[in-house]
Structure 1
Amino acid sequence: MRNISIDTVEDAPRDVLPVGTDYPDGFVLDWHRHRRAQFLYSATGVMVVETAGGAWTVPPDRAVLIPSGVRHLMRTSDVSTRSLYIEPAAVPWWPDACTVAAVTPLLRELLLVAVDFDTDYDLAGRAGAVATLLLHEIAALAPLPFHIALPTGADLHRLCRAYLARPDVGVSNAHWAAELNCSERALTRRFRAATGISPAAWRRRARLLAALPLLRAATVTEVAARLGYATPAAFTAAFSAEFGLPPSHTRS
């Protein structure tokens, strides 16, 4: 099934419903939720999935597992997706929070095949076997750390969302403390309580996540300069320390 709304088929009597969707560059799918769990694979482009509690960046050949009923929005950059909408009872092991994972070559091929299935595909035939194998492959995936927490307090939440939209190495704790009319110490104390990390560490992670879509079309040297790093080596070291892999490994 391609370029259809899941709402039109969500109650079909199949545990796994594959849907392929192509989005225009810069498209934003506004806040919504699904009754089913969703496996959202980025075949091309970069997605950012946001919930009230965080943001998950999904480069090409990665996917995000979205729990059933979780309200979220999606921002896209030249994205073509392959989604699986899955009955929650069929995946009791599904994560409780959104999770980004790398997609294996086998899983990728299964996803590309499955989007051409009809809604009433034969459970006893090849399509049914593919649907079953898809769930086995997803259950074996390892999570990737391409996410960032968002504080729930309205003022901190506003600051963080604004920063995610326009990461700027020039923004400091002093800037944020002035916006909130508090001391830097009070800001840091509140921020650590809300997110588990300091404001400076949070902003660094936000800037490094912003590198993921940039790396699709620019060199590591160009991205390092754009994000304010003195050298490509410094950027690569920071990226590798934050995410456990070099920036060159995230390019499609």
Structure 2
Amino acid sequence: MRNASLDAVDHVNRVVLPIGTDYPPGHVLDWHEHRRAQFLYGATGVMVVDTGAGTWTVPPERAVLIPAATQHRVRMLGVSTRSLYIEPDAVPWWPATCTVVDVPPLLRELLVSAVDFEADYSLSGREGCIATLLLHEIAERTPLPFHVAMPPSTDLAELCREYLAAPDLGITNAVWADRTARSERAFTRRFRAETGDSPAAWRARARLLAAVPLLRTASVTEAAGCLGYASPAAFTTAFTRAFGLPPSRFTAGGQGSTAGGQGSTAGGQGSTAGGQGGTAGGQGSCPSRAGRA
């Protein structure tokens, strides 16, 4: 089904309902939830998924697993989606929080085929086999670390949301501590207790996430300059260390590869992602030019 409303077909007795939708740049699907679990794949563009627990940045040719009955908002930056809406009982292994995953060629082609199904597709023929195979392929996916932890406390979350919207090298632990009327030591201890990271490590990771939307339209050199890195090489090293892939894979000329990410040392599923506020990097404009790394 293409450009169909889930509400119109949710009653259909199928474990998997595939729907393909094209969105204009900057489109926002405001807060909503689904009875079913959702596999949301972005064939093009970048998606930013917010929930009450966090924010996930989804690069092109990747997908995000959204648990059933999870309030979420999706911001689309030039995205064509291929979604699967899945009965929760059929996927007891589904993650409890949103999770970004790779989409290898086989899974991609299955998704492309599935969105042309009718809602009441045949379970006994080719279409039923594809639906079953889709679930097997999704179960084998490896989580990718395109997120940062968001503290549950309102005051800390506000600081983090502001930074995600506009990463600024002028922000220090002392600046944040002053905003919360705490000593730097007390602030750092509290921040680490709520996120698992030091404030400095958190900001460094958030700044790298800001590069993903930028790289849709910017070169590696331009993104490095926007985000305050001293050189493209320094930016490339930091990005690759965090995400397991060089930033060149996410530029317009480098998109299309779904390889990698599994070897990243940057968090896996250990972090919940950013809060309900702004996303890193907007729609490709430079989020900050403050300072140099």
Matched residue, 1:131: 131
| Amino acid in the other structure paired with 1:83 | S
Matched residue, 2:167: 167
Q: Is 1:52 paired with 2:52?
A: yes
Matched residue, 1:14: 14
Partner SS for 2:70: coil
Query: How far did 1:66 drift?
Result: 0.8
Q: Is 1:152 paired with 2:148?
A: no
Seq. identity, %: 67
Matched residue, 1:42: 42
Q: How many residues align?
A: 252
Query: How far did 1:14 drift?
Result: 0.2
Deviations 1:20-67 (A, max 9, x none): 111121122122111101000001100011122221111110000111
| Amino acid in the other structure paired with 1:112 | V
Distance across 1 between alignment mates of 2:170 and 2:112: 43
Moved more, 172-181 or 7-16: 172-181
Q: Is 1:83 paired with 2:74?
A: no
Partner SS for 2:160: helix
Q: Is 1:4 paired with 2:19?
A: no
Partner SS for 1:245: coil
Matched residue, 2:220: 220
TM-score by length of 1: 0.96
RMSD of Structure 2 on Structure 1 (CA): 1.1
Does the aligned pair in 2 maintain the 1:3–1:20 contact within 8 Å?
yes
Q: Is 1:208 paired with 2:223?
A: no
Distance across 2 between alignment mates of 1:249 and 1:23: 23
Partner SS for 1:149: coil
Matched residue, 1:104: 104
| Amino acid in the other structure paired with 2:28 | V
Does the aligned pair in 2 maintain the 1:41–1:64 contact within 8 Å?
yes
Deviations 1:172-205 (A, max 9, x none): 2222122212221121111101000011111111
Does the aligned pair in 2 maintain the 1:45–1:76 contact within 8 Å?
yes
Query: How far did 1:117 drift?
Result: 0.7
Deviations 1:104-131 (A, max 9, x none): 1011111111111111001111111110
| Amino acid in the other structure paired with 2:43 | A
Partner SS for 1:191: helix
Matched residue, 2:24: 24
Does the aligned pair in 2 maintain the 1:52–1:152 contact within 8 Å?
no
Moved more, 173-182 or 234-243: 173-182
Moved more, 188-197 or 71-80: 71-80
Distance across 2 between alignment mates of 1:10 and 1:186: 50
Partner SS for 1:240: helix
Distance across 1 between alignment mates of 2:174 and 2:4: 48
Does the aligned pair in 2 maintain the 1:46–1:213 contact within 8 Å?
yes
Q: Is 1:63 paired with 2:63?
A: yes
| Amino acid in the other structure paired with 1:132 | T
Give unpaired runs (5+ residues) of structure 2.
Answer: 256-293
Deviations 1:192-227 (A, max 9, x none): 010000111111111101101111211111110110
Partner SS for 2:148: strand
Distance across 2 between alignment mates of 1:189 and 1:51: 25
| Amino acid in the other structure paired with 2:212 | L
Give unpaired runs (5+ residues) of structure 1.
Answer: none
Partner SS for 2:164: helix
- The answer to which structure has the higher helix fraction is 1
Matched residue, 2:179: 179
Query: How far did 1:71 drift?
Result: 1.5
Matched residue, 2:232: 232
4+ runs deviating over 3 angstroms: none
TM-score by length of 2: 0.83
Matched residue, 1:247: 247
